């Protein structure tokens, strides 16, 4: 690598750090303005919560941020639509009704497309909230509510491309979305209903019985079996454990891959070992009616994480096995 190339890369890395630092400073500035903005933030939330639909609009980079804010609102239970300021004036304005709320994003506050759209929205009885980088601008003067998303400078090395400004606008949009979630009592279960194919949605809706191994796929051995016999059954079924049960299928213990490694380190000759002497007694179990999210929590929120659980009935009969891998696979299906 030439010296010129090294110098160029070094300068680029310095710029990367500078960009992140500048955007951090911009976010700190927004945070410090929040106490002075409490009344307008409260009015904004009231307008959003009373609206049937929250319209979000912007052009260019602000339009992209507007679309993300719209998507976040929709995914957290608030009906929201991205309204393109140009398309709106060619028919899409029909979605705007009396009592709706519109969030208009503009760094300069003088975006012509928004200035053309704004009076049309107000004429239809829409409450207009302007997220602007210039509070002394045409858009600010015409809006019902003004939220200050100004920044001292863009993180762009040329101070031209929107970077800090879009970051701050997005952060405030996220904050408004979070605020309405709390105001409406939005729960993880509500989130799952809007994300049925997401991992969280499946964790909250799928039951253990939907993904567990059952029947002949369960590795089981009698409590009178030798460790060698248990190891053979464990290898044959290939789910990372073997359940030690009695003649009524009542669970006495479990031997996992981790137990096997420990036992092999401690004993050169495994032939004399009995399964019940090396098993983990009273293992953690879960009922088949539990949600997979509960199973995942049982496995992960421990000093020593485990990757498999025995599924049992109320009288401790072993009826299945569930693994972390099963939960992950169900979430990625």
Q: What is the DSSP letter of 126?
A: P
Per-chain mean pLDDT for the chain: 90
Summarize pLDDT for 145-190 with one digit per residue, the tens: 999 999 999 999 999 999 999 999 999 999 999 999 999 887 766 6
Residues 202-212 as b/e (b if ≥16 CB within 10 A, e otherwise) read bbbbbebbebb
Choices 3.40.50.10860, 3.40.50.720, 3.40.1230.10, 3.40.50.10490: CATH for 3-186: 3.40.50.10490
Sorted by where each begins, the domain ranges of the chain are: 3-186, 205-332
- Find all residues with CB under 8 Å of 10, minimum gap 6, and list them: none
- Judge if pTM exceeds 0.75: no
pLDDT confidence of residue 186: 77
Tokens, residue 42? 């409260």
pLDDT confidence of residue 193: 62
Compute the distance between CA of residue 174 and CA of residue 171 in angstroms, rounded to an integer. 5
Q: What is the mean pLDDT of residues 61-80?
A: 93
pLDDT confidence of residue 92: 85
Tokens, residue 14? 């310095």
Cα three-residue angle 113-119-124, rounded to 5 degrees: 120
Task: Report the run of H or E that residue 281 belongs to, with start and end.
Answer: strand 280-281
pLDDT confidence of residue 189: 66
Summarize pLDDT for 248-281 with one digit per residue, the tens: 999 999 999 888 998 889 888 888 999 988 899 9
Specify the CATH architecture of the domain 205-332: Roll (3.10)
Task: Report the run of H or E that residue 320 belongs to, with start and end.
Answer: strand 318-323
Question: Which band of pLDDT confidence, cut at 50, 70 and 90, is reported for residue 332?
Answer: very low
Summarize pLDDT for 117-144 with one digit per residue, the tens: 999 999 999 999 999 999 999 999 999 9
Compute the distance between CA of residue 213 and CA of residue 288 in angstroms, rounded to an integer. 11
């Amino acid at each position: 690598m030439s010296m010129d190339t090294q110098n160029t890369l070094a300068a680029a890395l310095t710029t990367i750090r500078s960009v992140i630092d500048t955007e951090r400073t911009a976010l700190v500035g927004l945070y410090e303005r929040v106490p002075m903005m409490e009344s307008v933030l409260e009015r904004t939330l009231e307008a959003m919560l009373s609206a049937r639909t929250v319209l979000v609009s912007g052009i260019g980079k602000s339009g992209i941020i507007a679309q993300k804010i719209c998507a976040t609102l929709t995914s957290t239970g608030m009906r929201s639509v991205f309204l393109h300021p140009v398309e709106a004036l060619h028919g899409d304005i029909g979605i705007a009704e009396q009592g709706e709320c519109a969030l208009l994003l503009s760094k300069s506050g003088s975006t012509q497309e928004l200035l053309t759209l704004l009076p049309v929205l107000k004429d239809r009885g829409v409450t207009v909230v302007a997220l602007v980088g210039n509070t002394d601008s045409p858009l600010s003067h015409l809006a019902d509510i003004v939220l200050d998303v100004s920044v001292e400078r863009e993180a762009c090395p040329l101070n031209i491309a929107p970077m800090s400004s879009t970051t701050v606008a997005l952060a405030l949009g996220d904050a408004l979305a979070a605020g309405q979630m709390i105001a409406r009592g939005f729960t993880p279960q509500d989130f799952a209903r809007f994300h049925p194919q997401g991992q969280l949605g499946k964790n909250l809706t799928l039951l253990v019985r939907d993904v567990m191994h059952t029947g002949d796929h369960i590795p089981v051995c009698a409590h009178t079996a030798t460790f060698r016999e248990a190891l053979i059954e464990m290898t044959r079924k290939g789910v990372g454990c073997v359940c030690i049960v009695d003649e009524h299928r009542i669970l006495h213990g479990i031997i996992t891959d981790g137990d096997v490694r420990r036992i092999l380190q401690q004993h050169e000759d495994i032939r004399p070992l009995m399964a019940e002497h090396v098993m983990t007694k009273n293992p953690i179990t879960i009922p088949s009616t539990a949600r997979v999210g509960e199973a995942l929590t049982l496995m992960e929120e421990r000093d020593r994480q485990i990757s498999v659980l025995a599924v049992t009935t109320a009288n401790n009969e072993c009826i299945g096995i569930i693994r972390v891998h099963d939960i992950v696979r169900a979430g990625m299906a």
